[in-house]
Structure 1
């Protein structure tokens, strides 16, 4: 469809009655590879309920030192991105523990693309995860922002949530070399942690490499939300304008319900459903992946000699046949790196995040069927953001560290049942190596308890107008979740027909971009049932 005419926009639409509490439980977002425990505090504390504003005054009065971005780049490839003189970088100091603002400090990294016109403020961006780097996203997508009218009116600011990317202290467990060698917890339906000793080893490694228990105990989303408010204040914005993708929609929704009087505009793209428990959302995400794999199999079957066969209904079994040699033993790529079945499925999952990558998956599976693992390894590396220099921009360490503080923990019996349920929901994953063991929750021995309740989004009574962008064929955060998020916040919903995770700016749709830009610039939301196509 074409963009909705401005005369049909509505500035403050009537809202439906708001529930005081959502009926179902919480959810959590997938990371770029669908990364994926009983909380003891509210998910969305009221402003000032934990730390009085006066005690944060010194943090709010910080002056940012915007400089060239040499210190933000974490790899050789990033150095080229961040060397662009249009980019500026700075760091914001926040307390590690908001209950102890005079205690240890953390640094949150920022990257800014300054507005080309008279700035109305900043647009703060989180790309998702947990584990995604906002600084890296702004640097790598800078041409897309410079050609977008939004860049005339706003400073585009990406941030690395505490412990992630270039922020310090970093959340870490394993080295990049250990990831290359597969000497880390591996992710299929759940992590391949099958003993209490393995769970204890993971907790020990993460505690030591992350600088101690305090950093892990304060890694959760509730603290990131408080960091966002410090960032808003230090940027000089009376109210926050925010864009969050995937897990970033959780942060945005939590901020909006924690600080409703400090929200100017809130765009949530690829929204996580607030109506599902973490376990339910995990299953729904795998159902989304399976649906996209079914679509890919049908697409492949249109070509003679499709590696998945000419019957899409038999594609799951055909895939199992293709990966069987890798299941038996990892195979070497041309670079000498070993490729495991976990690597193969991470590569497939990454490719399913966008319909445009389907031919790449088919090509990679065709090569793998012939014994060549190079192409599927390249897709796996894309999942992790691994550069040619071996540096990982996204790894499971940060995702685990955040989720172990966000999510309620499952018993071994519950976690094992979840693996079996995922195998039923997504038969492409129904391999014994993924679903056949007795699994321990990765957070079972974590040194600090969770800090979020289920549901994670509760009191939404006074949230200003928000805009949820939801794609009908999203393989990671299903469209039903976007509908639920818009309903919970009493905001507007833009439905996007397509098969991709993330639509605004990333989807190449003028219809989507125009509607979102109109909201961000003029605070005018689309009419009910607004729809675009990728």
Structure 2
């Protein structure tokens, strides 16, 4: 299977009311009501003013990673918030979203709600992972750090789930690079079957409402239920798309937005895909330049020959996967492992080790990198990120079914990222979204007016969301731009002594950095 081409009523703020009620809904749960706060759409009052039951996070873990993060950790607490499945029918079916909170340690301003991107990544896991670092900062002193699992994802109920763990392992071994008519027909049949499995396992009604349009509405419910008249939000990668969508839908409800690793609001999905391919090639070229002077460089000592050296190492896997214990490293896994390593310079060393292993018919490190990308734990259990990624993209973006366009995209993609060229004639394939059981709910991009100052952070060597995307988003929102010179995907709250203080100061004081500010 190939992946997808990526009237208001103003109500008073109620005083916070917290009580521990044994056995209601579970022993040790702290019931808290801080909303409704700020603007509340008519007919949604019960959602905006609902009580939240905060409790130990252990039962909210859904993967090996989150079990480790949440186990016996007293600094965090979790809850679920109820929202309508379909906001046009607020009295109909409801769903529940997972929340994780680390409380402010000092004079609290409000909540800082975060989303790490994907689409499909867990905001609860992201908040838990950032918690210890954030607690020691001015932001941790002034804000509750709140991560949420968007609808269909992680601890939210129900989950988007399309493939079983075994089916996901098998799908990774299915290389799907044959672009002959028979090969294309086989791949498209698999993509159609995947869409059908998603519908059967998740439900068509849920799939129709997992897109960003509905996540933005959920975010406003969270804002109110957490007791904040205005939203303070940190979004990474696809999370910037959520933030920009919120700004367009609720400009008057925004206090502060930090958007790091921006999705470009001016590009359609085809141009975004090609720009991303070029971004990964730029990152690969930087890796090759870093590797070349090393005595142990797996790609040799001439960066100009690195594309060919990489292809010569990985392409044989298409015919002869390498044994890794009871599993096999496929060609697609090797490419995925390399892509994972492009997200951060810290992974360049492991990538070089993995490619060196491959020379010796071993694949442990590349398999570990691919497993990390797919959120597969050591027990063989997968998180929801891959299934949710496809589900969200299929309702967020128009379907591309014109084969001439698909053929052109395949050609342009190979030209933009030659290190990933599999050597087959370029040909487009209908992806799973072409067979999706519900139509897309694409939101037309509109100018945003009435926003307070917003902060976009963009990294010059970002492979997944190229630098220009951040420039364009900052212009679209009329906000400030902070440039980081580096090779990685996102940077705020990762310990950079230039970026972090600027972000902290903005979130607390709403002061933007001077125009043209650059960090490195």
Paired residue for 1:504? 492
Paired residue for 1:62? 50
Partner deviation per Cα, 1:431-481 (whole Å, 9 max, x = no partner): 135x6444113211111111114xx53121222210001111111100101
Alpha-carbon distance in structure 1 between the residues aligned to 2:178 and 2:340: 14
Contact 1:289–1:352 (8 Å) recurs in 2: yes
Structure 1 position 244 matched with structure 2 position 241: no
Deviation at 1:195, TM superposition (A): 5.0
Paired residue for 2:453? 465
Counterpart of 1:90 in 2: which secondary structure?
Answer: strand
1:186 to 1:442, Cα distance in 2 relative to 1, 3 A: farther
Deviation at 1:421, TM superposition (A): 1.1
Alpha-carbon distance in structure 1 between the residues aligned to 2:192 and 2:105: 51
Q: 1:415 aligns with which of 398, 406, 411?
A: 406
How many positions carry a matched residue from both structures? 484
Alpha-carbon distance in structure 2 between the residues aligned to 1:531 and 1:475: 19
Deviation at 1:180, TM superposition (A): 2.2
Partner deviation per Cα, 1:156-181 (whole Å, 9 max, x = no partner): 00000100111011111101222223
Partner deviation per Cα, 1:2-24 (whole Å, 9 max, x = no partner): xxxxxxxxxxxxxxxxxxxxxxx
Contact 2:172–2:330 (8 Å) recurs in 1: no
Partner deviation per Cα, 1:50-82 (whole Å, 9 max, x = no partner): xx9221111112100111112211134422311
Contact 2:251–2:449 (8 Å) recurs in 1: no
Contact 1:193–1:199 (8 Å) recurs in 2: no
Paired residue for 2:436? 446
Q: 2:212 aligns with which of 206, 221, 242?
A: 221
Counterpart of 1:215 in 2: which secondary structure?
Answer: helix
Counterpart of 1:157 in 2: which secondary structure?
Answer: strand
- More displaced 10-residue stretch of structure 1: 310-319 or 73-82: 73-82
Deviation at 1:103, TM superposition (A): 1.0
Counterpart of 2:450 in 1: which secondary structure?
Answer: coil
Structure 1 position 398 matched with structure 2 position 394: no
Structure 1 position 73 matched with structure 2 position 61: yes
Mark the runs of 5 or more structure 1 residues left unpaired by the alignment: 1-33, 38-45
TM-score (normalised: structure 2): 0.89
Partner deviation per Cα, 1:114-151 (whole Å, 9 max, x = no partner): 11112111000000000110001111222211222211
Paired residue for 1:118? 107
Contact 2:204–2:437 (8 Å) recurs in 1: yes
1:204 to 1:404, Cα distance in 2 relative to 1, 3 A: same
Contact 1:62–1:234 (8 Å) recurs in 2: yes
Structure of greater relative contact order (alpha carbons < 8 Å, 6+ residues apart) = 1
Q: 2:286 aligns with which of 280, 295, 299?
A: 295
Paired residue for 1:389? 379
- More displaced 10-residue stretch of structure 1: 511-520 or 376-385: 376-385
Paired residue for 2:148? 159
Deviation at 1:183, TM superposition (A): 5.9
Alpha-carbon distance in structure 1 between the residues aligned to 2:241 and 2:177: 24
Deviation at 1:428, TM superposition (A): 0.6
1:184 to 1:305, Cα distance in 2 relative to 1, 3 A: closer
Contact 1:301–1:312 (8 Å) recurs in 2: yes
Deviation at 1:289, TM superposition (A): 0.5
TM-score (normalised: structure 1): 0.86
Moved over 4 A (4+): 34-37, 183-196
Mark the runs of 5 or more structure 2 residues left unpaired by the alignment: 10-39
Paired residue for 2:223? 232
Contact 1:185–1:192 (8 Å) recurs in 2: no
Partner deviation per Cα, 1:321-361 (whole Å, 9 max, x = no partner): 1012201132210x211111110011000001111211111
Alpha-carbon distance in structure 2 between the residues aligned to 1:77 and 1:161: 18
Q: 2:199 aligns with which of 190, 202, 207?
A: 207
Contact 2:51–2:225 (8 Å) recurs in 1: yes
Deviation at 1:385, TM superposition (A): 2.3
RMSD (Å) for aligned C-alpha atoms: 2.3
Q: 2:116 aligns with which of 116, 127, 130?
A: 127
Counterpart of 2:290 in 1: which secondary structure?
Answer: helix
Counterpart of 2:158 in 1: which secondary structure?
Answer: coil
- Map residues 121-520 of structure 1 onto 2, 5 A cutoff: 121-182=110-171, 195-210=187-202, 212-333=203-324, 335-393=325-383, 395-411=385-401, 412-432=403-423, 436-453=426-443, 456-506=444-494, 508-520=495-507
Alpha-carbon distance in structure 2 between the residues aligned to 1:414 and 1:364: 36
Alpha-carbon distance in structure 2 between the residues aligned to 1:193 and 1:407: 23
Paired residue for 1:4? none
Contact 1:188–1:345 (8 Å) recurs in 2: no
Counterpart of 2:215 in 1: which secondary structure?
Answer: helix
Partner deviation per Cα, 1:68-122 (whole Å, 9 max, x = no partner): 1122111344223112011100001011111111111111100000111121110
Contact 1:271–1:469 (8 Å) recurs in 2: yes
Paired residue for 2:87? 98
Paired residue for 2:516? 529
